[in-house]
Every structure is written in C-alpha cells, then in structure tokens.
Structure 1
Amino acid sequence: MNLSDMLSYADIGQLSKIAGAYRCECNGNSKNELIQSILSQINRHDVFENQISSMRLEDLRFLNSLLFESRQSYSLEDLVARVQQSRFGEEKKEALEEPVKKTKKSKKKAALPPEPPSPREIIVQFKHQGWLFNGFSGPGRYLFQIPNDLKTRFRETLRRRFAEQLRYTDEPAMYRDEQGLIQEDIKQLLHYVYHNEVQLVSDGSMYKRSLQQLLDRMGVREELPSKGAWRFGYGRHFNQYPDRFSLLYDYCCSVKYISEQPDGLLVVEEAGKERLEKPSAADEQELVYRYWLKLYKGPVTNLLSLVHWVHALAADWVSVSSLREVLVPFIKTYYYDDANSILEARLLKMMVHLGLLRIGEHSEHGTVVRMTKSGHAIIDRSARGADTAGLGLH
C-alpha cells in the first residue's frame, strides 16, 4: 500500500503524532484534514530532503535495510534486530581520549555521552514520521509495513545524495568484462568431472592436482591458496578453493549438477549430464547471481542493498575510491573481513565474475567500474519480485 492508503487506516492518535512531526497546521479533530495536511507536507521536496538530512548514520542504515527487499511486512522482533545490526563501526570516543588525571581540585566525573535511543524508540520515531505503520486487523496488526511510494522516494533521494559524492569518468583505455564466462566454466567443470575420476580428500575437497587442472581450464585465472597459508572466505570449501571457483562449485552442488559421494568421489548427476548436452539456459547467469546472494547474505547482512546501490550508482564509469567513500559506512565487518575488503573482494570482484560489472584502470582516477547491460537487466528483474529465500536452491 501507498502512504495515502495507510494514513486512511491509521487512527487519529497516530495521525496527530505524524502531523506534529511535520508541524502541520490543521484541525486536529478532523481525520480528513489531518491526512490532507500530512500528505501536503510529506510531498514537499524540501521537507522530505530535510528529514533525510537530519537522520543519524545508524538510522540511515536501518532505513537502508528496508528499501530493497520484496517482503512487505516485518515483525517487531525483526525490526529491533535490524536496528541493533545498524549500530557498528563507531569507535568509542572515550577510548581515543587520554584519561583525565584526578586531582584534588577536580573531583567531578567527566560527563558521559548520552545513551543512544533504544531500538523500540527508533521504531516509534519512524512511526511518528509516517515511515512505518502497523497492520490494521487480524494477525497482521502485529506487523509493520513501509509505504511503497515512500520506499521509492527514499531510494531516489538517497541515490541523488550519493551520486553527488561520486567521481564519474570517461571510459578507461582497457577494461575487463566477464559476461558469459561463468556459464562456460560451469560446463568446463562438469566436462572435467564427467571424463575423469575425481577423488576427494577427507574434508570433501578435491586433491590439489585435480583442482589445478580444473583451474587451468577456467576462463578466469585464479591461483590455488598457498600451501599452509591461513585463508578466510565463504562457501563449502573456501579454505581450499579460490573465491570464484568456490562459488561456481557450490552452485553446481546446490542445483544437483555434481555431488560428493560417500566413497570419496566427485560425480556428475543426471541434471549435470543434461547440462553438458545442452547450451546454458538463458537465465543461468541470473540463477548463479541469485545463488550468490543466498550464499553471501549471511556474512554480508545488507548485501542486497549494496548490490542495488552499485546498480543505481554505476550506470556510467565511476571510481571505486569514491564508491568506497559512499558505501563503506553501510558495510558491517565480518570476523576478519573489514568493510573495505567486503566492498572490493566480496561485492565488486564477485559482481565482475558474475558478469554484472566491468572493471578497468583509469589513468587519472585509478580503478573504475560500470554496470553491464545484462547486469542492469538481472538486478531489475530481481527487484520486481524475486525473493532469495525461495529460489529452489539447497
């Protein structure tokens, strides 16, 4: 539902609080006047811009977590968890300051910073601004929704604000485009496993000799993880396989192209044999993209919104350094992955491998990226209703 629909269902108490937040001058006893006055204020460009400008970073992160999902409603517990997840990256000021020396003349304790609002207070604040509404009847009355038209306005307002901070460039002299390569390499993997006896070690990964032979067949060159070196990544055999191959391998397992047998062999299943005999399906690139979202959204909690921001902001060549300035504040660290490595290694690099992004080196602005046409199409289709929780992938 849109804002006008939700306002019409809201009780006069909530309407009065929203009207107060926007300093509406109207008859507070008339529901119709309250609704018309609220809509008039919220629809003003300057009022909406000021509301966004006054938001704290933590509140922007919370809002960002709601903007790109296909789901329509949220429980209170879910919203509380999202508010809590939005509080990261800020170093404690007192840890950076030198301890105050205690003297006889100065016995007063240093003033403590004010406590941040609780998650429930943030949710109430969003309700009072007309950005969140409770359901109106039945079990749905315990769920919260954000008006669809406000979602669109939030996205567009933030896109303009972010774009103003970016450095757009002309086309670099050379760039890399990996469109179609991951589909070809799926076939290479299946062909190798079908025609060779691929034995697995006790942890289920391939022996190094087989893995190296497979990597040599891939359209994108990746090195084996160094022997004995510590490695951190995501996926079933991340400690043994490089990132792109690890994703490709996990996808083939998830769609039952290949399977790891109890007797220590890697085999091609019937679905994999059918894939070998046919050209890649038209939607295979999109299926691998959706699987990547499903696999990576655990460690990168707001992965979907980050993908959509790259999609919205990189329609033209843009410097990675300026993208970093805009997006890193919205990225939460994950164990040994800091925000910068998540942006570059887990997001941009993987989007290049998936054929969603081109990457190049600009003589003046360094590393630059730009969305591909197929990347735009895939993300647009996903935004029109695909839910990563229901992909049929295991």
Structure 2
Amino acid sequence: MNLADMLTYADIGQLSNIANHYDCDAKRNSKHELIQSILSKLGRREFFEEQVSSLSPSDLRFLNNLAFDTRTGYSLEELTAAIRQAAELEEKEDQASSNKKAAAAKTESPREAVARYRRSGWLFNGFTHSTKYLFQVPSDMKERFRDVLRERLHRNLQRLSDDPEVYRDEQGLAAEDLMLILKYVGRHDIELNQEGFMYRRNQQQLMSTLHISEPPITKGAWRFGYGRSCIEYPDRFALLYDYAYAKKWIRENNARLILTESGTALMEEGNQVSVIQIFRFWLRLYKGAIPNINSLVYWISQCARDWVTAASLYESLGWLIRPFYYDSPQNILEQRIIRMLMHLGMLRIGESQSMGTTYKMTALGLKAAEAGIHISDSNDLIL
C-alpha cells in the first residue's frame, strides 16, 4: 500500500500531526486538504531528499532495515527492538569518543522514536481488525528511500577507469566443489571426532580434491554465528558442508560421515546444484550474525557494478554494519560478505597497482542481489 492509500485510511489526528511536522499549509479540519498538502510536499523529490539527508545515522539504519524487510506489518515490540539495534552503533561511537554531551542529548526512547516516525509519515497503524495493532510502511516511501540512499552511497566511491591487472573469479566452482565433497564422502570411510567433526587429515585430503582449497582452522580462533560447522571448518567449506547437510545429502551417523540415499541419487542422476539456492541458503545462514545482510548484498551490487576500490566501498557502507562480538564491521564486510560472494561466483576481487584491492559484481551477482531483497525470513533449510 502506498502513502496516498495510507493517508486516506488515517484518522484526521494523524494527518494533522504529519501536516504539522512538515509545516503543510492546509485546513486542519479538512481531511481532503490535509492529504493533498502532505502528498504535494512529500511528492517533491528535492524536499524528500532534504528530509532523508537530515536524518541521523541511526534513523537511516532503521529505515534501511524497514526498506528491505519483506514483512507487511510490525508489532510495537519489533519496531522498538529494531530502533534500539539501529542506535547501538551510535551509542558505541559516542562512548568511544567520550562524547558525553552527545550521549546525554540522545534521550529519545524507542517508543518516542516510533511516535516521531508516525508524525513524519513513515509508520501507519493497520486499517483492518486483524492489523490495527500492527504498524505498516508505505511501499512507495521504501522505494524512494532506497533511491535517495543509493545516491548517497555512490558519492564516496572511487571507481577504476580500466580493469585491474589481475582479478579472481570463482564462477561455477562452488557448485562443482559441492559435488566433489559428496563424491569424496561417498568413496571414503570418514571418522568423526567427539565433537562430530572430521579429523584434520580427512579435511586436508578432502580439500586437496577441490578447486578451491582452504587451510584448516587454527586452534584458539573464535568462530561461531556463521553456520553449524563454521567452528571447525573454513568458511567456504563450512557453507558447502552445511548446505549438503541441510539438504540431507550427507549424514553424521555413529561417529561416521556418510553419503545418504538422496545424496547418492543426486550423484547418480548427475544433476547440477543451483548456486542461487546456495546463495539463498547463505543469506539465511548468516542472517543471525548480520541481520541486514540482504540489504548489504544489495548495496554492494549497486555500488560495485563497475570496479570500485575496497577502501571506498567500506567508507560508503561501513556505517550500516554492526559488529558481531569480535568481528569488526570491516571484517564482516570483507571476509563474511565480499569473500563469500566471490566464492559463490557473485563478485570478482581484483588487485590494481595504483588503486589496491578492488571489487566488481558479476552478472549473476547483480541478478542474485536483486532477487535477494525479496527473500523472506523463512527458516527453510536452516540447521
């Protein structure tokens, strides 16, 4: 439902509040005039851009989350939790800079923020009996917000005029390596340790059969939050392993890793594994640690349609990323998202003598990122 529709259903009290917020010139007792004046003001592109530009980083993070959320309604508790989450980064920055005055000035509670978003026309109560206690966001406001934010993110990007001297492209290799993993499991007697993971010698033997080999995990490194097996296996292999496990192609049985009947059937039929399905699985798998991963992948695709420097991409997007325990925003962007996109064939990583590390999305990556913003929070195939 668009803004015009929601204004039509809104009561005159909320319409007056919105009109007051934007200083609209309309009779406060005429619903028709209020709606027309609000639409006229918010419909002007330059005015809307000014409003978005005046928002704080926490406001932008919150609205960015809403703009990519596939749900049609939110409870008050869900909104206040999202507002609190979006404000965390700002609070940490203030504490780190010892900016006590700024921290003290931010006394707005999440509920007060919800009221402010209602006054500014971002949130409306539902209009049916089943949705009257939920909040909704106008669809066209989401689209316009994305358009304005896209322009903002592009401002600081540093682009390359030519291709970098060398670049890495792994298109097609993830799906092929997944089949090689199944092949190895089917042909070997693989013993698992007490924690249920392969011994290092099996990991090394298996890795040697893959197109992309990763070194085993070093002892003592903290690893959690990125899937069932990331604690013991390197990132790319852990994703492929978790996907095969979730699809029930492999099973851990009596301290052994075995190929299941469905895994055997897949191998015998010679069917290709869809990298898009692995991509969708990855988005859901990493969402616990990176709640806004869908929007981040989308913004990477919008920023890196052509070759851009790694430093400028982080400068543009870093403020949207929350740290995850010891994982810094920069590490999350570079290791958890960019590198995994490369492993999935969605992005190329280049090295330029003059510009350093650079990124560019592949055609498959652009298509997948666009589709990714429509993926719901369904738990299909999550471990």
TM-score (norm 2): 0.94
Alpha-carbon distance in 2 for matches of 1:359, 1:130: 41
Aligned to 2:206: 214
Alpha-carbon distance in 2 for matches of 1:116, 1:69: 27
Question: Do the aligned partners of residues 371 and 185 (structure 1) sit closer, same or farther apart at CA in structure 2, a change above 3 Å counting?
Answer: same
Alpha-carbon deviations, 1:184-228, whole Å to 9, x = none? 0110000000011111011000011111011111211211123x3
2:229 counterpart of 1:240: no
Aligned to 1:23: 23
SS of 2:104's equivalent in the other structure is: coil
Matched residues, percent identical?
43
Aligned to 2:357: 367
Gaps of 5+ in 2: none
Aligned with 1:118 (options 104, 109, 113): 109
2:123 counterpart of 1:132: yes
Question: Do the aligned partners of residues 92 and 291 (structure 1) sit closer, same or farther apart at CA in structure 2, a change above 3 Å counting?
Answer: closer
Aligned with 1:311 (options 295, 301, 304): 301
Alpha-carbon distance in 2 for matches of 1:236, 1:98: 40
Aligned with 1:259 (options 229, 240, 251): 251
Aligned to 1:78: 78
Q: Which amino acid aligns with 2:257?
A: L
Cα deviation, residue 97, structure 1: 5.5
Alpha-carbon deviations, 1:294-313, whole Å to 9, x = none? 11110112111111111221
Aligned to 2:88: 88
Cα deviation, residue 286, structure 1: 1.1
Maintained 8 Å contact 1:193/1:268: yes
Aligned to 1:165: 156
Alpha-carbon distance in 1 for matches of 2:148, 2:102: 37
Q: Which amino acid aligns with 1:372?
A: T
Q: Which amino acid aligns with 2:367?
A: A
Aligned with 1:181 (options 159, 173, 179): 173
* CA RMSD, Structure 1 to Structure 2 (Å): 2.0
Cα deviation, residue 269, structure 1: 1.1
Aligned length: 380
Maintained 8 Å contact 1:359/1:369: yes
Question: Do the aligned partners of residues 279 and 40 (structure 1) sit closer, same or farther apart at CA in structure 2, a change above 3 Å counting?
Answer: farther
Aligned with 1:326 (options 316, 331, 345): 316
Question: Do the aligned partners of residues 36 and 364 (structure 1) sit closer, same or farther apart at CA in structure 2, a change above 3 Å counting?
Answer: same
Alpha-carbon deviations, 1:75-106, whole Å to 9, x = none? 1110000001112234465775599xxxxxxx
Q: Which amino acid aligns with 2:163?
A: E
SS of 1:312's equivalent in the other structure is: helix
Larger C-alpha radius of gyration, 1 or 2? Answer: 1
Alpha-carbon deviations, 1:44-102, whole Å to 9, x = none? 11210111111011111111111112211111110000001112234465775599xxx
Gaps of 5+ in 1: 100-109
2:327 counterpart of 1:358: no
Maintained 8 Å contact 1:225/1:231: no
Q: Which amino acid aligns with 1:118?
A: S
Aligned to 1:102: none
2:39 counterpart of 1:48: no
2:24 counterpart of 1:34: no
Question: Do the aligned partners of residues 2 and 286 (structure 1) sit closer, same or farther apart at CA in structure 2, a change above 3 Å counting?
Answer: same
Maintained 8 Å contact 1:232/1:336: no
Cα deviation, residue 353, structure 1: 0.8
Alpha-carbon distance in 2 for matches of 1:34, 1:111: 36
SS of 1:113's equivalent in the other structure is: helix
Alpha-carbon distance in 2 for matches of 1:112, 1:378: 40
Aligned to 1:389: 378
Alpha-carbon distance in 2 for matches of 1:81, 1:305: 18
Cα deviation, residue 390, structure 1: 4.9
Aligned to 1:300: 290
Maintained 8 Å contact 1:290/1:388: no
Maintained 8 Å contact 2:80/2:110: yes
Alpha-carbon deviations, 1:123-166, whole Å to 9, x = none? 11111111111101212011111111111100011001110111
Alignment of 1:257-296 (within 5 A): 257-261=249-253, 263-281=254-272, 284-296=274-286
Maintained 8 Å contact 2:196/2:252: yes
Alpha-carbon distance in 1 for matches of 2:46, 2:309: 30
2:185 counterpart of 1:193: yes
Question: Do the aligned partners of residues 331 and 13 (structure 1) sit closer, same or farther apart at CA in structure 2, a change above 3 Å counting?
Answer: same
Question: Do the aligned partners of residues 94 and 59 (structure 1) sit closer, same or farther apart at CA in structure 2, a change above 3 Å counting?
Answer: closer
Question: Do the aligned partners of residues 345 and 74 (structure 1) sit closer, same or farther apart at CA in structure 2, a change above 3 Å counting?
Answer: same
Alpha-carbon distance in 2 for matches of 1:281, 1:83: 42
Cα deviation, residue 392, structure 1: 4.6
Alpha-carbon distance in 2 for matches of 1:130, 1:50: 15
TM-score (norm 1): 0.92
Q: Which amino acid aligns with 1:185?
A: D
Question: Do the aligned partners of residues 203 and 124 (structure 1) sit closer, same or farther apart at CA in structure 2, a change above 3 Å counting?
Answer: same
